[in-house]
Every structure is written in structure tokens, then in C-alpha cells.
Amino acid sequence: MKISLVPRAAPSDCIRIWVGILAPHAPALTWFLDGKPIADARLHPLRPLASAIPAELLGGLPADNFIGLFEISGLDPGTAYLVSVKASIPGATASAELRTRTLASTVPSLLDGTFNVLLASCFYRPEDKGQAGALASQLNGATRPDLTLLLGDQVYLDLPTLANFPDNAAALAQRFEGNYRANWQGETGYSQLLGLAPAASVPDDHEYWNNFPHGSPFIQNSWTQSGRDNWTAAAAALYKAFQFSCEPEAYHFGGQAELGDASVITVEPLSFFLADGRSKRDPGRATVLTARGRKQLEHWVSEAIQKRHIGIFVTGQSMLDSPAGGLKGALAGYQLSNYGDFSYVTHALGRFAEAGLPITMITGDVHWGRVAAARDARTGRESIFEIISSPTSLVSTVGKDQLIALQGTIKGQTDAWPRHSSPGSVPEFLWFGDFGARFVCSRMHEQRGNHFALLSFTRSGAGVRLRITYYPIHEDLNLRKPQAVREILLVPD
């Protein structure tokens, strides 16, 4: 047996542990906290231990990877704990332990440290060579993450491009489980990054397939409705097993969370809204959020304004991108602004500015990093920000990569990031169609190449100060120098 433990984001009085166990059948588990058995009243199975692949998708094969999500309640905020588990099957036992911390209840003052949030997205394991996990594991002391936000494309289920994917859902589920197992349950690499701090995820298209839910010219399975249905069923099942929050009380609605629901994390005065704009995206491009997701967003904005929270809006794609044209959208992918509910989202977020509160948007997806700001013409203040961190490990592109390498050889050029594109420009005005020339955009920082980003928050009166540091991921040590962005002040009017 082999046990893998990953901390997951939870309320500040709880620890949530994702557990994956490679075994011939489901073991019995015994949990310990700081070396002492955990009372049943404090241990809550948010996802009881079960096969990563649901029974209906096993296709007659035996289960050999058992996944669960467990919550330990009644803990102190911002406190380190040692969680251990023993797994038992007839004739064999195994154990594993994880030292992790509960989330703080409030952002600390400058004298008491920082609240650090690690951003990562777009991880393609074959191109990583263990670099991302090794570098991330060196974050300690003042740079130790307290929370990790995984911003989409944690797996690439639709690659390699020329692969011959099976048609039936059971065979696809077996393949997708292997992708997740390699990232979540490996000895090194991405699993090292996952173990640093409690993590929360949003999905993007490669948790399903490129440009999901629309047909892709590169994915033959997506050309028919039955092909799309089988792929979606398998991909959604594995997303639920490895990444879904399994919230016992869905935000605003109560009851068990559903796929497509948002999650909310609060560390006073910060409030994070993690939107799933991918899992239930409308093939007709009417909506990216579900009806529940839109109601959750509306309630979150109202609650944040009422409590004077500093909003952090997390998505799998940028809120600044213009709509993709017909052919480009069909080939490369549609943007959030291509969908009918985009104005609903922008008007909801615009309410922060109306209330004199800043709003920060965080995303990945685009394979470059950038920090942008929008100045409110009515107040003269920078009130809306966007932070992009992408990629952690750039995906390979058949044909393009080989052409770039050949051109570099012919020209005798040396480029630290030959396969990486440069950051895109920001629009002159943010959401011009909804707000006209009110919000004037500017670019604060550009980041090319593989990287992750660390956001460091400290309390400043009723608001916070934010430092952003990008950490390049490169085999050349000389190219790993952290890149700091000027401090941002996020305070209410």
C-alpha cells in the first residue's frame, strides 16, 4: 500500500485532508492528531474513502486507488498540527503523516508576519522534470505559503495531441485516473507543491478537453455528442475525486455542494470567491456559471460589501480578455467575454467600486504572467486589479516547438524561454461595453516563462497591503531570481 496526503482549504477551525491510497481493496483507516487518536465526533468524511473511478466506470476492472476527503474540526486558527493515518487491510498496514496548519482567521499585522497565498496553474508533467515541486518546497520561513490556489489545468487530460483516445467512458476514466495519479500521488514533482499548504482548485478546459464543452478540431472524441458525453462523464468523475471541494454546506444554499458551485474562503478582511466557470459551461455560449453560481456570486458581493471585505475573485480565465472571433474561438478557445452572462459578472464585480471597495481578480490559463490595474476615473484611485500566474510547466505543442528550436539553431539565438510567448496587452478601458471609459487599464508587471507567484498580505487599517513576487522555474539557477512587483494597497474608501 502507498498513502498520499494533501491538505485542502478549510474554515480556520478545521483541517481537511485529501487521502489517496494505492491498495488491492479499500482499507480501514485510523486517524491521529499530534499522535493521539481522533475522536469520531471531530472526524467528518466529506468524501468517504472509495475508488477514484466510480463503480459504473470501472468497466469490470478491480479498483486499486481509493480516494477520500476528511475534515478534522474543533481546532485553533493559524496553528500547526501533525496529522497521521494508518491504513489496514488483511495482512498489511501502512501509515503516512502530514504536518500542516489551519488557516488564520485574520490577516496579520506587519509586525506579526504575512498571509501568503501561492498561485499555480497550467502544469504539464512531461515538461516539468521535477523542477516546480523542488523549487516550491524551498519556500519556508517568511515565504511559506498559508494557502495555495490552483487556477486551472492542473492536469492535461487531452494530451499528447496525437494520442488515440478510447471512445468509451470506462477506458477514458482509466486513462484520466493515471494522469491524476501521476500528479497527486507521485513521490516528487507536483505532489511536493500540493503538500505545501491547504489548497483550493478551480478547473479550466484541460481538466476536460481544450475549449470544453465545445468541439475541438484536435480531439476526435469531441466531434460527436456521444463522444463528448463519455469524455465529460469520465473527466468530471476524476475531477470530483481529486480536486472538488466536497463542501458539506454549499455557499449560500446549504447542503452538499454540487459540481459547478463556487467556494468561498474568508481570512478577515479578505474574502476569496472561487468560481467554477468551466464544469457546467453552456455549449450554446449563454453562460459560464450555473444558475446557482450566479446567485452565489450575487450573494458574495452583497455580503462582502456589507462586511467591508476585500474581494478576491478567482477564475480559470482572464476577465480582461476580449471576445475571441468565430474561427479563433472555435480553434484556440472562447474567452469568458464570449458568453452571455459575462456582463452579469462584470456588473456584479463593479458593485465593489460603487461601494468604495477594491476588487482583485486572479487567474491562470494564458501561459504568461501579468499584473494589471484599473484606475477609476470617478475617484482617481486604482480600484480593480488582475493577477495572472501561468504556466507552472508549459505544455508541449507538436510542430510549433520543433519549428522554434530549428529557428533558434539557424539564427544562433539563445533564449531562456524559447517556447514561451510574451504577455498580452491590456485593454485601454476595462469592460468598456458596460462601464464606458470609467476604468482606465495599465500594466504593472509582465512575467515570461514557467513560474509560480506568491501573494503576501499584511493588515493595513481596514484593508491590506499586498506584495506580489514571481518565482521563475528554470533549470539554470541564474534565471530563478524572484521578481517583485510594487506594493498594492487594498483599502476601502
Q: Do residue 301 and residue 421 come from a single domain? A: yes
Share of the chain above pLDDT 70, in %: 97
Find out whether 267 and 456 touch, Cβ atoms under 8 Å. no
Find out whether 12 and 105 touch, Cβ atoms under 8 Å. yes
Q: Do residue 83 and residue 182 come from a single domain? A: no
Q: Do residue 110 and residue 150 come from a single domain? A: yes
Q: Do residue 26 and residue 136 come from a single domain? A: no
Q: How far apart are CA 182 and CA 176, in angstroms?
A: 10
Nearest to 134 by CA among 187, 197, 212: 187
The reported pLDDT for the residue numbered 406 is: 56
Task: Report the phi/psi class of residue 62: left, alpha or beta, with left for phi > 0 and alpha for psi in -120 to 50.
Answer: beta
Nearest to 124 by CA among 455, 367, 338: 367
- Give the CATH number for residue 12: 2.60.40.10
pLDDT, mean of residues 389-406: 78
Q: Do residue 259 and residue 404 come from a single domain? A: yes
Phi and psi at 344, nearest 5°, equal: -60, -45
Alpha helical stretches, state H, 28-150:
131-136
Find out whether 236 and 279 touch, Cβ atoms under 8 Å. yes
Q: Do residue 88 and residue 116 come from a single domain? A: no
Of 54, 78, 103, the residue that ends a domain is 103
pLDDT tens column, 8-63: 999 999 999 999 999 999 999 999 999 999 999 999 999 999 999 999 999 999 99
Instruction: Give first-to-last CA distance, the chain, whole Å.
Output: 56
Of 67, 84, 103, the residue that ends a domain is 103
Buried b (16+ CB within 10 A) or exposed e, 325-358: eeeebeeebbbbbbbebbebbbebbbbbbebebb
pLDDT tens column, 56-66: 999 999 999 99
Domain count, the chain: 2
Of 71, 103, 135, the residue that ends a domain is 103
pLDDT tens column, 110-128: 999 999 999 999 999 999 9
The reported pLDDT for the residue numbered 411 is: 60
Q: Do residue 152 and residue 84 come from a single domain? A: no
Helix, coil or strand: residue 421: coil
Q: Do residue 184 and residue 331 come from a single domain? A: yes
By CB atoms closer than 10 A (0-12, 13-18, 19+), residue 170 is middle
* Cell numbers found for residue 236: 468530471
Spatial strand order in the sheet of 310-314:
263-267, 270-274, 310-314, 359-363, 382-388, 369-376, 439-447
- pTM greater than 0.85: yes
pLDDT tens column, 136-180: 889 999 999 999 999 999 999 999 987 899 999 999 999 999 999
Phi and psi at 295, nearest 5°, equal: -65, -40
Q: How much is the mean pLDDT over the chain?
A: 96
Confidence of residue 391 (pLDDT cuts 50, 70, 90): very high
Phi and psi at 206, nearest 5°, equal: -75, -10
Find out whether 105 and 77 touch, Cβ atoms under 8 Å. yes
The reported pLDDT for the residue numbered 414 is: 74
Find out whether 365 and 153 touch, Cβ atoms under 8 Å. yes
Q: Do residue 99 and residue 111 come from a single domain? A: no
Nearest to 146 by CA among 114, 110, 99: 114
pLDDT tens column, 337-384: 999 999 999 999 999 999 999 999 999 999 999 999 999 999 999 999
Q: Do residue 52 and residue 117 come from a single domain? A: no
Find out whether 10 and 102 touch, Cβ atoms under 8 Å. yes
Q: Do residue 380 and residue 466 come from a single domain? A: yes
Tell me: pLDDT of 399 over 70: no
Q: Which residues pair with 50 in a beta bridge?
A: 67
DSSP code, position 221: G
The reported pLDDT for the residue numbered 237 is: 99
Find out whether 54 and 82 touch, Cβ atoms under 8 Å. no
Find out whether 8 and 69 touch, Cβ atoms under 8 Å. yes
Find out whether 321 and 333 touch, Cβ atoms under 8 Å. no
pLDDT tens column, 197-242: 999 999 999 999 999 999 999 999 999 999 999 999 999 999 999 9
- Give the CATH number for residue 479: 3.60.21.70
For residue 383, the enclosing domain spans 104-490
Nearest to 333 by CA among 447, 208, 430: 208
Q: Do residue 165 and residue 38 come from a single domain? A: no
Nearest to 96 by CA among 178, 165, 42, 18: 18
The CA-atom distances, in angstroms, between 473 and each of 110, 144, 447, 479 are: 28, 17, 11, 8
